[in-house]
Copies of this chain bind each other. A is one copy, B any other.
């Protein structure tokens, strides 16, 4: 089944202890769609400027990603500059130029209307909700958000959360969104806001999925059985940018590739999320995601298994 993702397609300039890259193709929808493309058909809704050329288009095309929903607008694409020099786990933003993204009005191609999976990457929750409502056929909706929307646009965010089945956010965002610091109580709070499942990302420690009680029609995914997937201990993290979006792409890509959402499928999807995130951080920008093989992905999946399984 195909996935439609709405989010940013952007250019990033990033410096890390391993070096620096200038104006690499980036953005949440880019990382998500490249990661998901190894598992299923992906369609993107975004807006780019005149600096998005044949070269960038080719990156999507080479992975068979449908870009008919990427609108070309006069001006420049979204640009972000960040530094991980002080802390590899948290970027320091040096510059953000919204450019064409400032007036983004998602336009959904008619051909996307049969996507049964929809992912709302981190953008204004008003737009996220609008896209969700405009794609009523989507039977499983994932979403992401960030501190800015949680702090300053809570009302709009709550309306978006009502329409999301699986929310993927990090530890800090979970605690900020909830009224508790305790991770289990915080997750329970967030699950009352709408999502049937919450995947909390822990960076180098992996991710934990929490479920609402009886939220999915199938048994086995319930509040008494959280699930924790690992991250791979890596001897070098070149550039952490996009790890979370790659996790989401691997996770939803695998879910969409399966005939049914069972507990075993959900668990494997968590592992594939970690796998795709672990590839992304090995190179600057999304480079590693453009050159993988399914065999490399399966090999790493086995590594994740041996890292966590008793036998």
- Chain A positions within 8 Å of B, measured between CB atoms, are 88, 181-185, 187-188, 202, 204-206, 208, 210, 225-228, 230, 233-237, 264, 267-268, 271, 305-311
Q: List 21 A-B contacts (CB under 8 A).
A: A182-B234, A182-B237, A184-B233, A185-B235, A187-B233, A188-B235, A202-B205, A205-B205, A206-B228, A210-B233, A225-B306, A226-B233, A226-B307, A228-B230, A228-B233, A230-B308, A267-B310, A267-B311, A308-B308, A309-B309, A309-B310
Q: Are A264 and B185 in contact (CB under 8 A)?
A: no
Contacts of A306 in B (CB 8 A): 225
CA A142 to CA B58, docked complex, whole Å: 55
- Nearest CB of B to A261, in Å: 15
CA A309 to CA B311, docked complex, whole Å: 10
Contacts of A227 in B (CB 8 A): 307-308
CA A182 to CA B18, docked complex, whole Å: 12
Q: Are A184 and B234 in contact (CB under 8 A)?
A: yes
Give the residue of B182, B204, B308 whose beta carbon is less than 8 angstroms from that of A235: B182
Q: Is the interface of A mostly helix, strand, loop or mixed?
A: mixed
Residue in chain B with minimal CB distance to A227: B307
Residue in chain B with minimal CB distance to A203: B205
CA A261 to CA B182, docked complex, whole Å: 36
Q: Are A271 and B205 in contact (CB under 8 A)?
A: no
CA A226 to CA B308, docked complex, whole Å: 9
Q: Known: A264-B310, A310-B264, A310-B305. Contact between A235 and B271, CB under 8 A?
A: no
Give the residue of B208, B236, B308 whose beta carbon is less than 8 angstroms from that of A182: B236
CA A267 to CA B187, docked complex, whole Å: 29
CA A309 to CA B225, docked complex, whole Å: 12
Closest 8 CB pairs of A and B: A205-B205, A184-B235, A184-B233, A308-B308, A228-B230, A267-B310, A228-B307, A226-B233
Residue in chain B with minimal CB distance to A230: B228
Give the residue of B184, B204, B226, B271 whose beta carbon is less than 8 angstroms from that of A310: B271
Contacts of A208 in B (CB 8 A): 233
Contacts of A205 in B (CB 8 A): 202, 205-206
Report which residue of A183, A185, A235 has the largest number of chain B beta carbons within 10 angstroms of its beta carbon: A235
Contacts of A228 in B (CB 8 A): 206, 230, 233, 307-308
Q: Are A311 and B264 in contact (CB under 8 A)?
A: yes
Contacts of A225 in B (CB 8 A): 306-307
- Nearest CB of B to A130, in Å: 34
- Nearest CB of B to A211, in Å: 12
